[in-house]
Structure 1
């Protein structure tokens, strides 16, 4: 129980992933699988981190407008709907 948590800190993987990998390694290969499970998952994580394309998340001015947050002005709903235009009143017919 203590081994996955300690080893996970040294190889920088989440403790739940480490624990799950030890369970799967034990089920597949027994005691040897339990010992090599965390290094195998850490290797897989390093490989995927190096070779899987990551996309940078940036703010899109078309979505947020040119104002920064907290700058005052109309609320989000007013920015989505646009300026209010008064509607003409209906004419009464006799």
Structure 2
């Protein structure tokens, strides 16, 4: 198809922290949740590509309707922590209004 047998580099990054570690190692660039990289940004180990334009995106938690009590507890803990740690979008503020 390309006229040559191309084998670009391939990296397997099995976790969010591995993705941050790859950026720290200079393998490439990427978007990371601020809580994972704020210390690296402050120390200058990572640099925001557009510090004047953060990109906040809505996140959604999904799980099966057939939920065990344990998974329900996990879901509640994740949602609670997300509301504590993450930036709320204007959509979230409107949808949670009384």
TM range (shorter): under 0.3
Specify which structure has the higher proportion of helix.
1
TM-score by length of 1: 0.25
Greater Rg by CA: 1
Please give the TM-score of this superposition, normalised by the length of structure 2.
Answer: 0.24
